[in-house]
């Protein structure tokens, strides 16, 4: 399914071939990438648990995002809100509005299921542009504080690392969309 199209960008359902491309490109840019993350999301998509999207810029996969229809854990577990998970734009395609278009599509999909959407964002500087984008889009902290490895951090906790597992959960009220048939 295609969710967005203009003269340079198409946002469509993720395909299995995208998993290898994203993994190889992320490794080339120095990220700790593993194809199993993408294959798991494709399995979740086949099972109706999530919608996985690929942004194709000028014919090449450039970014991705997943909308999980049920919580994977964390601050919003069991609350019935969809979550936006693993937004990524390859470095060579950044600053072209691809991340914003992916978020537009993800929020539209989430709006078919609830009036609130959530996400978790990492706290180290590698997530700085994502942190700024989420605030500009109206996301606010959920109030449960910082989480590490899917558990809330206790006050004055010393056994944590500033890695990809240290996150802050945010949410946003969205306009409910009619579901697609």
pLDDT for residue 116: 94
**What three-state secondary structure class fits 140?**
strand
pLDDT for residue 142: 92
Tens digit of each residue's pLDDT (9 = 90 or more) over 104-156: 999 999 999 999 999 999 999 989 999 999 999 999 999 999 999 989 999 99
pLDDT for residue 179: 63
Report the distance separating Cα 11 and Cα 54, nearest Å: 6
Give all strands of the β-sheet with 9-13 in edge-to-edge order.
2-5, 9-13, 50-57, 60-68, 83-89, 116-122, 166-173, 140-148, 151-152
pLDDT for residue 32: 85
pLDDT for residue 178: 67
pLDDT for residue 75: 81
CA–chain centroid gap for 117, Å, is 11
Count other C-beta atoms under 10 Å from residue 44's C-beta. Answer: 19
pLDDT for residue 180: 57
- CATH second-level architecture of 2-173? 3-Layer(aba) Sandwich (3.40)
**pTM, two decimal places:** 0.91
* Residue 10, strand partner residues: 5, 56
| Sites in the chain below the pLDDT cut of 70 | 71, 177-181
């Amino acid at each position: 399914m295609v969710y967005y199209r203009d003269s340079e960008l198409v946002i469509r359902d993720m395909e299995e071939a995208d998993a290898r491309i994203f993994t190889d490109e992320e490794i080339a840019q120095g990220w700790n990438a593993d194809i199993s993350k993408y294959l798991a999301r494709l399995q979740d998509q086949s099972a109706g648990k999530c919608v996985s999207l690929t942004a194709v810029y000028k014919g090449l996969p450039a970014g991705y995002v997943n909308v999980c229809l049920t919580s994977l854990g964390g601050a919003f577990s069991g609350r019935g809100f969809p979550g936006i998970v693993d937004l990524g734009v390859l470095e060579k395609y950044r600053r072209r509005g691809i991340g914003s278009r992916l978020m537009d599509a993800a929020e539209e999909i989430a709006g078919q299921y609830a009036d609130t959407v959530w996400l978790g964002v990492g706290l180290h500087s590698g997530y700085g542009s994502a942190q700024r984008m989420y605030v500009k889009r109206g996301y606010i902290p959920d109030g449960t504080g910082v989480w590490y490895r899917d558990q809330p951090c206790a006050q004055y906790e010393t056994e944590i690392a500033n890695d990809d597992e240290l996150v802050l959960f945010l949410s946003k009220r969205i306009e409910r969309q009619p579901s697609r048939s």
